[in-house]
Amino acid sequence: MKDVCEVRELTDNDNHESIKEQVFPNAINGKGKILDYLRSFPAKCVLASTVIDEITGEDTGQDLQLYEDNDWTWDDSVIYHFEHYNMRLSEEFLDYVLSK
């Protein structure tokens, strides 16, 4: 499985850029379709944690659930930051979803 994003705060990989370099003021074309896709899968598991807004540091109170399709994996933190901050997602993932 591949992660849909490479953001240090969400992957715990120090080789990835910080989320602050991965958010943008303008939405990408197809954002609605991407969000619909990310939300269309049932959760594989629910963690004993909530989504933290990595920009403000605030706890959103939203449960943190994990999702996957046949190739990709993501969680509610990815959905939240993509929706609220236009966080960059993998170009390969975007191409995959937008080509459907």
Question: What are the pLDDT digits (tens) for 6-40?
Answer: 999 998 899 999 999 999 999 999 999 999 999 99
The pLDDT value given to residue 100:
85
How far is 76 from 43, CA to CA, in rounded Å? Answer: 10
Question: What are the pLDDT digits (tens) for 43-62?
Answer: 999 999 999 999 999 999 99
Residue 2, Cβ neighbours under 10 Å: how many? 13
Q: Mean pLDDT score of the chain, rounded to an integer?
A: 95
The pLDDT value given to residue 79:
98
Confidence of residue 95 (pLDDT cuts 50, 70, 90): very high
Q: How deeply is 31 buried, as exposed, middle or buried, from its count of CB atoms within 10 A (0-12, 13-18, 19+)?
A: middle
Which pTM was predicted? Answer: 0.95
